[in-house]
């Protein structure tokens, strides 16, 4: 099992990331953004009820809102949904209709941002503590979509992380392999500090961590926004 520091020490530019794990009777969920362009860095996280939203820090600097502003975390059908795009809403609609994350992601493809073809990543944390991570990415040199899912039982003090990229580059290399298992612990504030400090200081934009009590759905959270001075 790796540490937060070792994972991000090997990947200066992970893009966007979804993390889900377990601490006691609490589901641990986290979402972060790293970015290179001014348009992508012009973002802040805001908690809105039990959801997390992305807003522009300076609306006058927005050059292209597509793929930039969305709801990365929602609570739907007693489950927590995370993703790096508007597929969060697609997954919630699927769950509320009695379908699954996999069913929802089968209707979506990678992002239309050639030449990067950024993967769509997603996570689902169930009220039982079990969780699923998934990715939709481009199939090598072909235009086809390739979809892959991993489901996990809760393991004390452990989480799994999936990102959009394997590192920096032009075009950016899509995440490959399986989600990374890493150790977690401490309070939401402490875990937030560890992840934030491990992310590259030049590229980190925003980070959100939530601990949800599986017995009653109540949660505690912590957040970092670079544009707000964090």
Per-residue model confidence (pLDDT) at position 214 = 95
In the block, tokens 């309070």 appear at 187
For 150-164, write each residue's pLDDT tens digit: 999 999 999 999 999
**Which whole number is the average pLDDT over 203-221?**
97
Rounded Cα–Cα distance for residues 112 and 141 (Å): 15
Residue 38 has pLDDT above 90, yes or no: yes
Other C-beta atoms closer than 10 Å to the C-beta of 140 total 9
- Tell me which DSSP letter residue 178 carries: S
Domain spans, the chain: 4-228
Residue 221 has pLDDT above 90, yes or no: yes
Q: What Rg, from alpha-carbon coordinates, does the chain have?
A: 16
For 77-91, write each residue's pLDDT tens digit: 999 999 999 999 999
Per-residue model confidence (pLDDT) at position 79 = 97
Structural element, H or E, at residue 8: helix 4-9
Residue 64 has pLDDT above 90, yes or no: no
| Residues 149, 101 contacting (CB under 8 angstroms) | yes
Per-residue model confidence (pLDDT) at position 141 = 87
For 130-140, write each residue's pLDDT tens digit: 999 999 999 98
What's the sign of the alpha-carbon dihedral 182, 145, 126, 206?
positive
**Which whole number is the average pLDDT over 18-42?**
96
Q: Is the peptide bond before 12 cis (omega within 30 degrees of 0)?
A: no
Per-residue model confidence (pLDDT) at position 197 = 98
Which of 111, 65, 121, 129 is closest to 91 using CA atoms? 121
Per-residue model confidence (pLDDT) at position 66 = 86
**Which whole number is the average pLDDT over 212-228?**
97
For 43-60, write each residue's pLDDT tens digit: 999 999 999 999 999 998
Q: What percent of the chain shows pLDDT beyond 90?
A: 95
Rounded Cα–Cα distance for residues 78 and 72 (Å): 16
As its CATH architecture, domain 4-228 has 4-Layer Sandwich (3.60)
For 140-151, write each residue's pLDDT tens digit: 888 999 999 999
For 195-210, write each residue's pLDDT tens digit: 999 999 999 999 999 9
Per-residue model confidence (pLDDT) at position 140 = 87
pLDDT band at 108 (very low <50, low <70, confident <90, very high): very high
Average pLDDT, whole number, for the chain?
96
Per-residue model confidence (pLDDT) at position 126 = 97
Per-residue model confidence (pLDDT) at position 95 = 97
Q: What is the end-to-end Cα distance of the chain in Å, rounded?
A: 29
Which of 192, 149, 227 is closest to 4 using CA atoms? 192
């Amino acid at each position: 099992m790796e540490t937060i520091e070792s994972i991000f020490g090997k990947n200066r530019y992970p893009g966007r990331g979804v993390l889900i794990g377990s601490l006691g009777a609490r589901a641990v969920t986290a979402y972060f953004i790293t970015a290179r362009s001014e348009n992508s860095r012009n973002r802040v996280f805001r908690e809105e009820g039990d959801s997390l939203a992305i807003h522009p820090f300076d609306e006058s600097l927005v050059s292209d809102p597509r793929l930039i502003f969305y709801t990365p975390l929602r609570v739907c059908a007693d489950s927590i949904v995370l993703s790096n795009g508007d597929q969060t809403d697609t997954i919630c609609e699927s769950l509320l209709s009695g379908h699954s994350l996999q069913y929802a992601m089968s209707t979506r493809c990678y992002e239309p941002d050639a030449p990067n073809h950024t993967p769509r990543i997603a996570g689902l944390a169930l009220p039982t503590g079990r969780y699923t991570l998934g990715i939709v990415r481009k199939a090598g040199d072909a235009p086809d979509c390739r979809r892959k899912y991993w489901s996990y039982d809760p393991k004390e003090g452990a989480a799994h992380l999936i990102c959009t990229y394997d590192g920096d580059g032009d075009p950016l290399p899509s995440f490959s392999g399986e989600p990374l298992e890493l150790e977690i612990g401490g309070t939401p504030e402490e875990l937030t500090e560890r992840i934030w400090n491990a992310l590259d200081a030049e590229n980190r934009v925003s980070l959100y961590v939530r601990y949800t009590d599986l017995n009653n759905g109540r949660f505690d959270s912590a957040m970092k926004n670079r544009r707000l001075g964090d």
